[in-house]
Copies of this chain bind each other. A is one copy, B any other.
Amino acid sequence: MEKNISEFREIIKEKRMIDSMLALLQWDLETQTPKGGYKLLSEMIGELSLKSYNLTTSKKILEVIESLKKYEAELDEVTKKEIELLEEEILKIKVIPAEEYKAYSELTAKAQGIWEVAREKNDFESFAPVLEEIFNFNKKFIQYRNLEGDIYSIILNDYEKGMSVEKLDSFFEELKNEIVPLLKDIKSRDREFSKKINFKVEKIEQKKFSEEILKYIGFNLDRGVLSESAHPFTLTVDKNDVRLTTRYFEELPFSSIYSTIHEGGHGIYEQNIADELKDTLLADGASMGIHESQSRFYENVIGRSREFWYGLLSKSKYKYSEIENLSLDEIYKAVNEVSPSLIRVEADELTYSLHIMVRYEIEKGILSGEYQIKDLPRIWNEKMEEYLGVVPETYSEGVLQDVHWSCGLIGYFPSYALGNVYSVQILRAMKKEINIEGALERGELKEIKKWLENKIHRHGKLKTPKELMVLVTGEELNPDYYIEYLKEKYRKIYD
A72-80, A158-166, A177-185, A221-229: which one contacts chain B? A221-229
- Bound Cα distance A41, B33 (Å): 19
Measured as residues with beta carbon below 8 angstroms from the partner, the interface class of chain A is: 35 or more
Q: Contacts A21-B44, A24-B25, A47-B17; is A36 near B241 (CB within 8 Å)? A: yes
- Bound Cα distance A238, B38 (Å): 11
Closest chain B residue to A25, Cβ basis: B24
B34 A224 Cβ-Cβ under 8 A: yes
Q: Contacts A24-B24, A25-B24; is A34 near B238 (CB within 8 Å)? A: no
B227 A32 Cβ-Cβ under 8 A: yes
A36 B227 Cβ-Cβ under 8 A: no
Task: Say how far A14's CB is from chain B's closest CB, in angstroms.
Answer: 9
B44 A240 Cβ-Cβ under 8 A: no
Q: Which residues of B contact A220 (CB under 8 A)?
A: 36
- Of residues 185 through 226 on chain A, the ones whose CB sits less than 8 Å from some CB of chain B are 202-204, 220-225
- Bound Cα distance A225, B35 (Å): 10
- Bound Cα distance A26, B320 (Å): 37
Q: Contacts A20-B44, A32-B225, A44-B17; is A37 near B204 (CB within 8 Å)? A: no
Task: Say how far A434's CB is from chain B's closest CB, in angstroms.
Answer: 28
Closest chain B residue to A14, Cβ basis: B47
- Bound Cα distance A237, B36 (Å): 10
A238 B24 Cβ-Cβ under 8 A: no
Does A147 make an interface contact (CB < 8 A)?
A: no
- Bound Cα distance A243, B36 (Å): 11
Closest chain B residue to A43, Cβ basis: B17
A40 B225 Cβ-Cβ under 8 A: no
Does A28 make an interface contact (CB < 8 A)?
A: yes
B204 A241 Cβ-Cβ under 8 A: no
- The answer, among B40, B225, B227, for a CB contact under 8 Å with A20, is B40
Does A315 make an interface contact (CB < 8 A)?
A: no
- Of residues 415 through 459 on chain A, the ones whose CB sits less than 8 Å from some CB of chain B are none
B223 A37 Cβ-Cβ under 8 A: yes
A37 B227 Cβ-Cβ under 8 A: no
